[in-house]
Amino acid sequence: MEYARMWPGANVLVAGVLVASLLAVAKPARAEEQPVTVTIDRAKVFRIQEPASTVIIGNPFIADVAMHDDTTVVITGKSYGTTNLIILDEDSTPIIDELITVQAADENDVTVVRKTVRQTFSCTPNCQPVIRLGDGPDAFTATAEQAAERNDLATQAAAAGAPRSAPPQ
């Protein structure tokens, strides 16, 4: 109190020194780090230095994580957005604590908008409808149903022992 009366700026100076010292020892903010970028419907593989014991994904609707082995991580983009990935060792010490951003695979996509309804096509090189989040419900449902039916037919044919190419002689 004596110092405050003698020099009114003493409290401000002490507070400033405290803040500066805390900033000097603080870790960099997570926002400064670059997130791992994954494309929707694609997998990305990377290795970690130590064996993993526990894998935690912040939002499983955005990305899926699987361990191929105890040091090989596979991340699959499921929906647009950003989440986090934490991998712990057997002592529950974090090995990885990363942001994961899932982005669109749009390098060959063409988006058609009719009034307010959107439909997406993949043009590689011929344009075919694809299922993309944000497409109009009619186009999305029709394409999804056709894809599901096609996959079911392929699964049934494989299970029924459909003819395969002859083994080499």
Q: pLDDT (tens digit, 9 = 90+) per residue, 128-143?
A: 998 888 999 999 999 9
Q: How many CB atoms lie within 10 A of CB 94?
A: 11
Tokens encoding 156: 């049934």
Collect all residues with Cβ–Cβ distance below 8 Å to 38 and sequence separation of at least 6.
44, 63, 75, 76, 77, 100, 101, 102, 103
The residues that bridge with 121 in the sheet, in sequence order, are 110, 129
Using a cut of 0.85, tell me whether the model's pTM lies above it. no
State the burial class of residue 12 (Cβ atoms within 10 Å of its Cβ: 0-12, 13-18, 19+): exposed
Tell me if the domain spanning 30-103 has CATH number 2.60.40.1380. Answer: yes
Compute the average pLDDT of residues 59-74: 95
- pLDDT for the residue numbered 167: 57
Q: What is the pLDDT of residues 47-64, one digit of tens each?
A: 999 999 999 999 999 999
Q: How many CB atoms lie within 10 A of CB 43?
A: 12
Q: What is the pLDDT of residues 17-40, one digit of tens each?
A: 444 444 444 333 344 468 899 998
Strand-pair category, 94-103 with 117-123: unpaired
Query: Of 104, 82, 78, 71, nearest to 30 (Cα)?
Result: 82
Structural domain boundaries of the chain?
A: 30-103, 109-157
State the burial class of residue 102 (Cβ atoms within 10 Å of its Cβ: 0-12, 13-18, 19+): buried
DSSP letter (8 states) at residue 166: P
